[in-house]
Amino acid sequence: MPTKLWEKDYDLDQRIADFTVGRDRELDLELAPFDILGSLAHVQMLAEVNLIDAGAARRCKEKLRELYETAQSGAFTIEDGVEDVHSQVELLLTRTLGDDGKKIHSGRSRNDQVLVDLRLYFRHRIQGIVEQTAELSRTLTGLSEEHKDKLIPGYTHLQVAMVSSFGLWFGAYGEALIDDLRTWKGVYDVVNQNPLGSAAGYGSSFPLDRDRTTELLGFAAPVVNVVAAQMGRGKTEQLLAFAIAGLAQTIGKMAMDVCLYSSQNFGFLQLPPELTTGSSIMPHKKNPDVFELLRGRCNLLQSLPAQISQLTTNLPSGYHRDFQLLKEALFPALDQLEDGLAIALYALPRTSVRAQELPTDPRYTYLYSVEAVNNLVLQGVPFRDAYTQVGRDIEAGTFVPPTDLQHTHLGSLGNLGNDRIQEKLDRVVGEFGFEQATMPLQKLVEG
């Protein structure tokens, strides 16, 4: 059995082999369970269209299920000299089953193998990220409700603006994450289409049943046109990169707020000592390194779409080896995003909030200027006249802040609408329908 699916009657220069394989053997270990799932579906379909006999299909599926358990346990390896996960799986089948193992590549190419592997892998990673993001959103909404009556100043242009609260601040990020999930839903819909059967990108003369493999793998639909299936390589990764960057922007902004609000000059938040680091010469320092690093990593993740775009720009239709490098950019980015979500979930509930005495602190007197304007308007003064009058009082030093806040409209200080935010989150998460993908895969594995 050759160790490369394309192997010919000549030896490839070893330096060229090493360069072209790159990090595939390392990164393909993450794809191993999904490559095996794709092979299970393909073998089942081949038997149903009579391209291999039932006995050979049964033996192949038994071995593939054994290999799947190995891959799931983390014990799957790609041997030295074997180019990628596709070659390794076929090699192991052939060692055990002989000619039966050689039959499973009928009607497919490494091109559609890697496409289906990646879509199954991305689908799996998206589910994990969506579940983490939803948990973070619920955590933030819960913190919003817990601290809804604790006031802090709100800022525009980093200048004191209007009265805000921890209820508004926590709740804002809880709801903003839902918009990020809407982006992920769009990406999921693109990913959740079956490219298997497109072969090298131009189909096959075999009577493949692509609807059947779509059903077996739990995809919502096939990518119908085989060239379009191949063209999805690169485009799918770019859409995924935009979703990663959007979610990273929200988390990074929140991390920046924590860094700012936990500084002594603000003093709105306090990190417990065990979540901070010290200085080598300043004994008083308690640095928010965890949130600084979270901010920095999120900033790097926001550059991912540009990297993917540069890697795939000006490529015509069809497969190109440049696509191999997409894994090197995306796989670590997915890990970093999940790590960031996990650390935010861990650290934020352990952070103490410190309500501010806004009415008695002279730094925050002008937070109430809008309240004064609105009170005059409610008394019948035209808005522009009220605005001018309060402005003159401020300039004259005679402004007296009205501290009795009457914010009752939806989403404001006195009516956060956290129940509505929770309903929105549940609705958006439910739209993914992850069980429609996971249940067929479970059935495929269990036989």
Please list the residues that pair with 270 across neighbouring strands: 352
Q: What is the mean pLDDT of the chain?
A: 93
Distance between CA 173 and CA 261 in Å, rounded? Answer: 15
Give the type of residue at 399: F
CATH superfamily to which 110-155+163-358+422-430 belongs: Fumarase/aspartase (Central domain) (1.20.200.10)
Distance between CA 41 and CA 214 in Å, rounded? Answer: 9
Q: Which residues in the chain land under pLDDT 50?
A: 1, 4, 6, 8, 10
Q: Which residues contact 363 (CB under 8 A, 6 or more apart)?
A: 160
CB atoms within 10 A of CB 208: 22
Task: Please compute, for residue 231, the number of CA atoms within 13 A of its CA located in the half-sphere on the CB side.
Answer: 10
Which residue, among 114, 123, 107, 118, has the nearest Cα to 45 in the 3D structure?
107
165 near 196, Cβ under 8 Å?
A: no
Which residue, among 447, 444, 445, 446, has the nearest Cα to 216 in the 3D structure?
444
Sign of the Cα pseudo-torsion (61, 66, 71, 75, in order) = negative
Burial 325-342 (b: 16+ CB within 10 A, else e): ebbbebbebbebbeebbe
Give the type of residue at 84: D
Distance between CA 72 and CA 119 in Å, rounded? Answer: 17
Distance between CA 245 and CA 163 in Å, rounded? Answer: 31
Query: Which CATH architecture fits 14-105?
Result: Orthogonal Bundle (1.10)
173 near 254, Cβ under 8 Å?
A: yes
Return the DSSP state at 72: H
**In the numeric block, which tokens belong to residue 69?**
């358990």
Q: Do domains 14-105 and 110-155+163-358+422-430 have the same CATH topology?
A: no
What is the reported pLDDT for 192? Answer: 98
What is the reported pLDDT for 280? Answer: 77
327 near 117, Cβ under 8 Å?
A: no
Which position has the token pair 């000619």?
A: 99
What is the reported pLDDT for 195? Answer: 97
Distance between CA 168 and CA 294 in Å, rounded? Answer: 22
Return the DSSP state at 324: G
243 near 183, Cβ under 8 Å?
A: yes
Full-model pTM: 0.93
Which residue, among 262, 325, 326, has the nearest Cα to 294 in the 3D structure?
262
Which position has the token pair 């417990």?
A: 272
Beta pairing, strands 352-353 & 269-270: antiparallel
- Helices within 192-218 (DSSP H only): 210-216
Distance between CA 214 and CA 271 in Å, rounded? Answer: 49
Q: Which residues contact 412 (CB under 8 A, 6 or more apart)?
A: 168
| Cα angle 162-165-168, degrees, rounded to a multiple of 5 | 100
Distance between CA 438 and CA 447 in Å, rounded? Answer: 14
Burial class (CB in 10 A: 0-12, 13-18, 19+), 5: middle
**In the numeric block, which tokens belong to residue 357?**
């005495």
What is the reported pLDDT for 447? Answer: 84
Delimit the domains of the chain by residue range: 14-105, 110-155+163-358+422-430, 362-396
What is the reported pLDDT for 83? Answer: 81
What is the reported pLDDT for 282? Answer: 81
Distance between CA 57 and CA 59 in Å, rounded? Answer: 5
What is the reported pLDDT for 6? Answer: 43
CB atoms within 10 A of CB 158: 7
Which position has the token pair 């394989």?
A: 21
